C-alpha cells in the first residue's frame, strides 16, 4: 500500500477503505508519511468531502492516537459541553456550576483563545493562582468535590489532531467541514461523558458565518457521535453580536459571576438555560425544556451555583472570595469611553470586528504563543434592537498599552450599524438539533 495511491483515490472522489485510512494516519503519526503527502490528502478532502464511513473511521483513529479518559470514580451524570468559539462566550464559566448545583457534573477539555475568539482557560487564568487540572487524578479530585472538572488540552490526548491542525493551518484547509468535525469530535470522544452538547456559533463573530454552514457542521458532528455510540445534541446559537456585554478575560469572569447572582443578559441566559435544559432532559428529569427554567432559577436564587463556582476557584488555587470582591482580578490602568456618533436603532454589531478590537489591545492572541493581558477588554452597553442617541455611551475599552487604542476605538465605532427603523431583538438560540 502506498500513500500516493490513497491520495489519488481521494483526489478522484472515491471512498477510502478503513485499512487505507488507517495506513495513512498511522503512517503520518509515526513520521513515515511526510507533510507534503498529507497536505495533498487534506486538500483532496477539502474539495471532495468525506463519506460517513470515512469520517467516522478518520475520527476514531484520531481519538485513539492518544490517551482516552473515563471517569468511573465520579458518581454523577456527566455533561461535556463544547463551543465552536465566539466573542464574549463565557457560557462554560456560568454553566458548569449550574449543572453541578442541579446534581450533574461538567467534565471537559478546555482550550485557549486564538484570533478574535476567547478561550475558557484564558478566562479562568485571569484569576490569580488559578491552575487547571493537568492529570486525570487532579481532575477527578476537584470534580468529586465541586462537580466541575476542566482540563487543559494535553499532548497525550489526540496528538494526531494537533499535528494535523498545524498542517491544515499552513495549507488553507482549516475551513473544511469534515476536518473541523473530526478535530472537535475526536477530542470529545476521548473524554467520557453521558451526553455531549455542542454549541455551534453562527454569524459574523463565528467560524461558521451562516446557518447553512453551521447546520452542515452540526450534522457531520452528530453523525460521528452517533456512529461512536454517544449521546449528542447541538445548539445553533447567534454570534451576529457579542454574547452578553463583556469581552475580554477578567471582565467576562465578572459578568459570569453577576449572572450567578441573578444579573444576566437575556442572550446569555437563553443559551445557558437551553444547554442546561437539554442536559436535564437527557438525564430524564424533565420532558420539556421549559420545565428546566424553574429548576435553574432556584439554584441561582438560593446561591448554590455561585457557591459551587467559589469552591471550584478555591480548589483550583484561586481565592474563592473573588465572587464577592472583584478587586482580586487584574485591573487595567486606563479606560476609554466610546460615544455614538449617530442616533438610531442598532441593526447589527459586527462581532468579529469587536473581537479584533479586543485582541489588538491584548485581550486575545493574533498567533499561538502570544501573551494575554487578562485585564484588557471591552464592555458594550447596547445590544441589537436597542435605540441609542447621538453622543450616548455605547462601550468602554480597558487597556494598559495605548499602542493600538485608537485603532481599537475606531473598530468599535465601526462595528455598530444603525438604522432609523425599529427592529426586533434577535434570538440567541437559532435552532436545536437532537
Give pTM, 2 decimals.
0.93
Per-residue confidence band for 114, with pLDDT thresholds at 50, 70 and 90: low
Instruction: Determine the pLDDT at residue 113.
Output: 61
Instruction: Look over the chain and give the mean of its residue pLDDT values, rounded to a whole number.
Output: 93
Domain ranges of the chain: 3-48, 77-324, 332-419
Q: Which of 3-17, 107-121, 132-146 has the lowest mean pLDDT?
A: 107-121
Distance separating alpha carbons of residues 185 and 196, to the nearest angstrom:
10
Q: Which CATH architecture has domain 332-419?
A: Alpha-Beta Complex (3.90)
Q: Which CATH number fits domain 77-324: 3.30.70.270, 3.40.1030.10, 3.40.50.1360, 3.30.1360.200?
A: 3.40.1030.10
Cell numbers found for residue 46: 477539502
State mean pLDDT over 405-423.
96
CATH number of 3-48: 1.20.970.10
381: how many CB neighbours lie within 10 A of its CB?
A: 14
Query: SS3 for 377?
Result: strand
Q: Give the whole-number percent of the chain exceeding pLDDT 90.
A: 82
Greater confidence (74 vs 255) lies with 255
| 210-238 pLDDT, tens digit each | 999 999 999 999 999 999 999 999 999 99
Distance separating alpha carbons of residues 175 and 157, to the nearest angstrom:
23
Distance separating alpha carbons of residues 275 and 281, to the nearest angstrom:
10
Query: SS3 for 334?
Result: strand
Cell numbers found for residue 242: 457579542
Q: Please determine whether the domains at 3-48 and 332-419 fall in the same fold group of CATH.
A: no
Surface-to-core class of residue 36, CB atoms within 10 Å of its CB (0-12 exposed, 13-18 middle, 19+ buried): exposed
**What amino acid positions are annotated as catalytic residues?**
82, 161, 168, 183, 187
Amino acid at each position: 500500500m502506498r500513500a500516493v495511491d490513497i491520495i489519488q483515490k481521494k483526489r478522484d472522489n472515491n471512498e477510502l477503505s478503513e485499512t487505507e485510512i488507517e495506513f495513512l494516519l498511522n503512517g503520518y503519526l509515526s513520521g513515515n508519511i511526510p507533510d507534503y503527502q498529507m497536505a495533498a490528502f487534506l486538500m483532496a478532502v477539502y474539495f471532495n468531502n468525506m463519506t460517513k464511513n470515512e469520517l467516522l473511521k478518520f475520527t476514531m483513529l484520531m481519538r485513539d492516537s492518544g490517551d482516552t479518559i473515563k471517569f468511573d470514580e465520579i458518581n454523577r451524570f456527566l455533561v461535556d459541553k463544547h463551543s465552536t468559539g465566539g466573542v464574549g462566550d463565557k457560557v462554560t464559566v456560568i454553566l458548569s456550576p449550574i449543572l453541578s448545583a442541579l446534581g450533574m457534573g461538567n467534565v471537559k477539555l478546555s482550550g485557549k483563545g486564538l484570533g478574535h475568539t476567547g478561550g475558557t482557560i484564558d478566562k479562568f487564568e485571569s484569576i490569580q493562582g488559578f491552575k487547571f487540572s493537568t492529570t486525570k487524578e487532579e481532575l477527578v479530585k476537584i470534580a468529586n468535590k465541586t462537580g466541575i472538572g476542566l482540563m487543559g488540552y494535553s499532548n497525550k490526548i489526540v496528538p494526531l489532531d494537533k499535528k494535523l491542525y498545524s498542517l491544515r493551518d499552513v495549507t488553507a484547509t482549516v475551513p473544511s467541514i469534515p476536518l473541523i468535525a473530526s478535530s472537535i469530535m475526536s477530542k470529545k470522544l476521548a473524554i467520557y461523558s453521558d451526553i455531549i452538547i455542542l454549541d455551534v456559533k453562527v454569524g459574523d463573530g463565528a467560524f461558521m458565518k451562516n446557518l447553512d454552514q453551521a447546520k452542515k457542521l452540526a450534522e457531520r458532528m452528530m453523525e460521528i457521535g452517533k456512529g461512536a455510540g454517544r449521546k449528542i445534541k447541538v445548539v445553533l446559537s447567534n454570534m451576529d453580536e457579542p454574547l452578553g456585554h463583556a469581552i475580554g478575560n477578567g471582565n467576562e469572569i465578572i459578568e459570569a459571576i453577576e449572572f450567578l447572582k441573578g444579573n444576566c443578559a437575556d442572550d446569555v441566559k437563553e443559551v445557558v438555560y437551553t444547554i442546561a435544559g437539554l442536559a436535564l432532559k437527557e438525564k430524564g428529569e424533565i420532558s420539556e425544556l421549559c420545565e428546566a427554567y424553574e429548576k435553574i432559577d432556584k439554584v441561582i436564587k438560593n446561591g448554590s451555583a455561585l457557591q459551587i463556582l467559589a469552591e471550584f476557584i478555591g480548589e483550583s488555587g484561586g481565592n474563592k472570595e473573588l465572587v464577592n470582591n472583584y478587586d482580586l482580578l487584574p485591573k487595567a490602568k486606563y479606560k476609554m469611553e466610546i460615544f455614538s456618533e449617530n442616533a438610531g436603532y442598532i441593526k447589527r454589531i459586527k462581532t468579529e470586528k469587536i473581537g479584533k478590537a479586543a485582541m489588538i489591545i491584548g485581550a486575545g492572541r493574533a498567533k499561538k504563543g502570544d501573551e494575554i493581558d487578562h485585564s484588557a477588554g471591552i464592555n458594550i452597553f447596547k445590544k441589537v434592537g436597542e435605540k441609542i442617541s447621538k453622543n450616548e455611551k455605547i462601550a468602554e475599552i480597558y487597556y494598559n498599552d495605548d499602542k493600538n487604542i485608537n485603532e481599537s476605538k475606531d473598530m468599535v465605532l465601526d462595528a455598530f450599524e444603525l438604522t432609523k427603523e425599529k427592529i426586533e431583538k434577535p434570538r440567541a438560540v437559532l435552532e436545536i438539533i437532537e
